[in-house]
Amino acid sequence: MTLDDLDTPTLVIDEVVARQNLERMAARAKARGFALRPHTKTHKTPYWARAQAALGSSGLTVAKLGEADVMVAAGFLDLLIAYPIIGPQKQRHLARLIQAGLRPTVSLDSREAADSLEQVGQMTDSVIGVLVEVDSGFHRCGLPPGPAVADLARYVESLPHLRWDGLMVFGGHMSRERDPVVLRRLVHEEDEVVGTLVATLRSSDLSPRIVSTGGTPQAACMDEIQHATELRPGTYIYNDVATVRSGAAAWEDCAATVLATVVSRPDPRWAVVDAGSKALSSDGHPDGGHGAIVGRPDLVVTRLSEEHGILEERAGGQVDLAIGERIRIVPNHVCTAVAQHDAAWLIGADGALTVLPIAGRGRVR
Amino acid sequence: MTLDDLDTPTLVIDEVVARQNLERMAARAKARGFALRPHTKTHKTPYWARAQAALGSSGLTVAKLGEADVMVAAGFLDLLIAYPIIGPQKQRHLARLIQAGLRPTVSLDSREAADSLEQVGQMTDSVIGVLVEVDSGFHRCGLPPGPAVADLARYVESLPHLRWDGLMVFGGHMSRERDPVVLRRLVHEEDEVVGTLVATLRSSDLSPRIVSTGGTPQAACMDEIQHATELRPGTYIYNDVATVRSGAAAWEDCAATVLATVVSRPDPRWAVVDAGSKALSSDGHPDGGHGAIVGRPDLVVTRLSEEHGILEERAGGQVDLAIGERIRIVPNHVCTAVAQHDAAWLIGADGALTVLPIAGRGRVR
């Protein structure tokens, strides 16, 4: 069976490229002394989690407890849950996972979330590790890097079923950076902020054992990082338009593409393919377009609807694709593209195709 | 069980509102003499397809054959497949469905697609109905409304296993219109274009039996439509920000919301909820924002990442939501939001909650 035999649109993963990406990151992190705790939100599969573990990852990261379910069922018990546990449903869910063997670390940024997690510790008679989340400029979750961090760390330490392990930052604003020089500067600046904060905490007898920083662009710039101890990249396994545009990867490092077929040519100026937002997700990119067409830098996916992608020639000329022709599209944001698919096709080193179930898809809770 | 018992984020459907939406559209279409062939891409469930059939729909519309699988398995055999059938995998797939009892009508806009469909007719020894798709301004699929339409209709008629049934238009550009007056004018203009085309075809002895027009905004303006015979709205069952902003529905007609919990309050100016693009999809709206918060017009979802939504006060002031508080968000585009969920909760007239599996989710092929 070859790619020509596959129905479209379908997600295709180049196993050789993905493994190279994993190996390169693992080697660099090891050489620089960083713990590597990959975020599984990109691949969402125990298959790749095992490959990451075999390469020496210190554990895994998940965002939601439903993602933890998948990884715990596959035997991964050292997980950072990078999300505050709020509400009785999530408290009971985490308690069940702990009873199943999970040894979680949880990030949080409020006393309310600490109190909630303390109750889970009580319910399970366990001590749960905590990273206090710090806002390094993304302005999503995270306390500003000031006295509130020490206050919350001390509060966590005061609770009998919690253990303050350190800090977590996620500079998500760097994900769409398009200038590699600016990216390096932003990573350096985040590290400076973290370094100042850690020094302040140490002077108050608060020594973080873990300082965890997220993101593939950040991990790609790990030479700029002095004060973090742990990297949590996710996208690096597959890469996408955003990581390439940021300078964190090259096009040949993009392992995941959506295979699509030209289904309509109503006008010389555009072609319609059968991959829309249900195959690629709607996530945009500041450069415009909805993905990069492999081998065809002259073409742009100018519009998506749910089941259609519109391809135009970059300079506004005629498009030379025929009905029935197939293309491969590198998604703008591979995590959200993968999240649309129940399964992908894995192309092995020998060209053989095997099904890769995306077991963590749809785990929104 | 009440909404308070549900884990979040979760998709919640108000059954009373959805049924009212179905009944109102069915009654209006019947009074005006339109066939109603709802697009199932919004609800993706046999449950609602049965309700639409009970209200007299003339059949259903699907975009992809995988969606047809779900509806054929539930006993719906009169389907418009509003998508050209290109490639041997899709030919075999459609042939299997015909052998299972499907009586398809298929839209197409090229001789290549007609030849492909003719082969399916040969494979199954059946005659397949065809609508020639015409571009009414969306510039996706569809021939320009000129002589090429008659040429393709004649070509379809020349093929022994195809039957030319008429025309299909989809004015998708109207979905995001924000001025009800402009919307009515656009619907009227599309109808004029269709009317001129039909008159030209008739003068060439080509009489379309079906003239099918799509879209909830168009169906809402059916009083402007003289020349179409069939309406294919989808979104009208649930409605969303886009249909409300277009004037096609009111906020109280929005049946689908994403229930979310406030998980972080790191700054007085924003709150973070646990619904991100994995619960709402990334589809934007020209008015900005990522959905409307029920009962809180003063708040805006300014940003989404996969698992987080950022809520801000419209005037830039402080947000008054506490950690643990719950909100309900009307999605910008309910079809893509529904497409993220394996199941929804249906709130019945008595307030009881039942699970509604979204059987057609993920049917991208």
* pLDDT tens-digit map of B5-16: 999 999 999 999
Mutation pick from A143, A259, A307, A308 vs chain B, by most beta carbons of B within 10 Å, is A307
- The whole-number pLDDT of residue A176 equals 86
CB crowding B129-143: b at 16 or more within 10 Å, else e:
bbbbbbbbbbbbbbb
Alpha-carbon span A286 to A304, nearest angstrom:
16
Closest chain B C-alpha to A31 CA, distance in angstroms: 31
Q: Is B272 on the interface with A (CB under 8 A)?
A: yes
Interface contact flag, A109 B266, Cβ < 8 Å: yes
Burial pattern B100-113, b for ≥16 Cβ within 10 A else e, equals eebebbbbbbbebb
Distance from the B31 Cα atom to the nearest Cα atom in chain A, whole angstroms: 31
Backbone angles phi, psi at A189, to 5 degrees: -65, -40
User: Which is nearest to B277 in space by CA: B218, B322, B329?
Assistant: B329
What is the per-residue pLDDT for A124? Answer: 98
In Å, how far is A140's CA from the nearest CA of chain B?
A: 7
Could you give the percent of chain B with pLDDT greater than 70? 100
Q: Does B341 reach chain A within 8 Å, measured CB to CB?
A: yes
pTM: 0.97
Determine, for residues B274 and A112 on separate chains, whether the beta-carbon distance falls below 8 Å: no
> What local confidence, expressed as pLDDT, does residue A279 receive?
98
Whether B109 has its CB under 8 Å from any CB of chain A: the answer is: yes
> What is the arithmetic mean of pLDDT over A178-203?
96
Q: Quick check: A8 pLDDT over 90?
A: yes
State the count of interchain CB pairs (< 8 A) between A and B: 177
Is A173's Cβ below 8 Å from some Cβ in B?
no
Q: Is the peptide bond preceding residue A9 cis, with omega within 30 degrees of 0?
A: yes
Averaged pLDDT, A76-83 = 98
pLDDT value for B176: 86
How confident is the model at residue B280, as a pLDDT? 98
Whether A83 and chain B come into contact, CB under 8 Å, resolves to: yes
* Cross-chain Cβ contact A266/B142 below 8 Å: yes
End-to-end CA distance of chain B: 37
At B31 the pLDDT is: 98
- Residue B197 has a pLDDT of 98
Cis? peptide before B208, omega within 30° of 0: no
Calculate the average pLDDT of chain B: 97
Average pLDDT over every residue of B39-57: 98
Polymer length in residues for chain A:
365
Range B111-134 average pLDDT: 98
- B212 in contact with chain A, both atoms CB, cutoff 8 A: no
| Arithmetic mean of pLDDT, B351-358 | 97
Q: What tokens appear for B315 in the block?
A: 């005037």
Of A181, A174, A187, the C-alpha closest to A223 is: A187
| Region B184-196 average pLDDT | 97
Q: Closest to B278 (Cβ–Cβ): which among A265, A305, A339?
A: A339
C-alpha distance from B108 to closest chain A C-alpha (Å): 8
Nearest CA in chain A to B343: A362
pLDDT value, residue B130: 98
What is the mean pLDDT of the segment spanning B146-157? 97
- Name which of B87, B265, B272 is nearest A324 (Cβ-Cβ): B87
Residue B227: pLDDT band by 50, 70, 90 thresholds?
Answer: very high
What share of chain A in percent tops pLDDT 90?
Answer: 99
What is the residue-wise DSSP string for A236-267? GGT--HHHHHTTSS-GGG--EEEEEEEEEEEE
- Using CA atoms, how far apart are residues A87 and A335, in angstroms rounded to an integer? 26
